[in-house]
Amino acid sequence: MNSFLEGIDMSALLDDVERMKRIDRDGMYAILAKLPEHCEEAIDEAKDLRIPRRVRVSDHKVLRYGAPKQIVIVGMGGSAIGGSLFKDWLRASLPIPVEVCRGYTLPAYADEETLVLATSYSGNTEETLSCLLEAVERQCMVVGITSNGVLQEFGEKLGLPLVIIPGGNPPRSAVPYIFFSLVAVLDALEILPSMVGEIEEAIAVLKKVREEIKPERPLSDNLAKKIAIGLQGSIPLIFGFGFYESVALRMKTQFNENSKTPAVIELFPELRHNTVVGWAGPRNLTKKFGVLLIRDREEPPEIRKMIEVTKEQIFNDGAATVLEIWTRGHGKLARMLSTLYVGDFASVYLGILYGVNPTPTKNIDELKKHLTSCDTMGVLRKKFARLLEG
């Protein structure tokens, strides 16, 4: 903990905006505060996207763009979560399967009838670049989404359609740009039903929620601050269900990166077949977890019953604390993004309580340094050169 926090009432700290700014030195709060505007900007910048009918990448390889039979979204970390949200949002309305690929290789089924959306905020994510080149080799319909870097370089030289998004911020803050770029690509290919009304409602709800969870809103009337206080000193354990799986994952990674704390996710109804047994273990272990339940007033009856019974019979006695986030809005997207937004702010407030600057990711940076000896990028450049040669 920072020395200037010693002796300070931690709950009072969250109502001291100036002191919080001294901890949040790189301004993660300021980035989060612009989420609704970032959504609007992303939509505006991607609205004129055009996808060509065909792209010749070499004398022997032509990519033909049309109606895909399946979609694979490739990405890692903050770049991948936009794909997971996109998949969960459209799972009940898209007539074709969507898979999010986090790794170096594409699924075996990916072929010329597969739309591959390669997302990397920095443009230098080696796993994404590996899948991008593999997708071109297989003559998939490839579209890149990035702010810069090698992905932009490769994409431009191969003649691939690209969506260039604003750079300069931590990758985890790029979710609105990546998410709405994915929407724009499917829109351009005319395979997405109109979602204008749902998107407009989601942004309006985000603006309303922002007023309720911003630093200037006191702890007594601020859900995100209350969640941070409640989770302080425990390991956040986030429970989702259905299309909130990606929201739970986003919360988990935000607690990891902004709060610098371990965090875990579990899902209803799967957890009743395994996870609940672990809660019969020693209380000194289960009491290390602070339970955070994602709730929805439109929960299926069987899920609602399962959540309530599990909370009453297991979590209330076994966990350090049990908290709930109830979704806001009517449309699926509003309910997903409003919940995500509360989690984003709560993760920053928890980081503040621990006296850590939310923005830096020292362990990721250190790990990258130790992995440079693998020279994966050199291997990818050689593969890229062979693709250009045909």
- Active site residue ranges: 257, 273, 368
> In terms of Cα–Cα distance, which of 163, 214, 253 is closest to 35?
214
Structure tokens at 178: 């990546």
**Contact (Cβ atoms closer than 8 angstroms) between residue 66 and residue 93:** no
> Which residues neighbour 156 within 8 Å (Cβ) at sequence distance 6 or greater?
162
Name the one residue in this structure whose structure tokens are 């985000």. Answer: 206
SS3 label, residue 252:
helix
Q: What is the DSSP secondary structure assignment for residue 313, as one 8-state letter?
A: I
How many beta carbons lie within 10 A of that of residue 331, not counting itself? 17
Q: How far apart are CA 253 and CA 104, in angstroms?
A: 21
DSSP secondary structure string for all residues of 355-382:
T--SS--HHHHHHHHHHGGG-HHHHHHH
Are the CB atoms for 232 and 259 separated by under 8 Å? no
- The letter for the amino acid at 329 is G
- 233 phi, psi to nearest 5 deg: 90, 0
Beta 289-295 vs 321-326: how paired, if at all?
parallel
What string of DSSP letters covers 1-60? --GGGTT--HHHHTT-HHHHHHHSTT-HHHHHHTHHHHHHHHHHHHTT----SEEEEETT
Phi-psi region of 117 (alpha: psi -120 to 50; beta: other; left: phi over 0): beta
Nearest to 121 by CA among 159, 83, 157, 68: 83
Tally Cβ neighbours within 10 Å of residue 8. Answer: 14
Q: How many angstroms from the chain centroid is the CA of residue 124?
A: 18
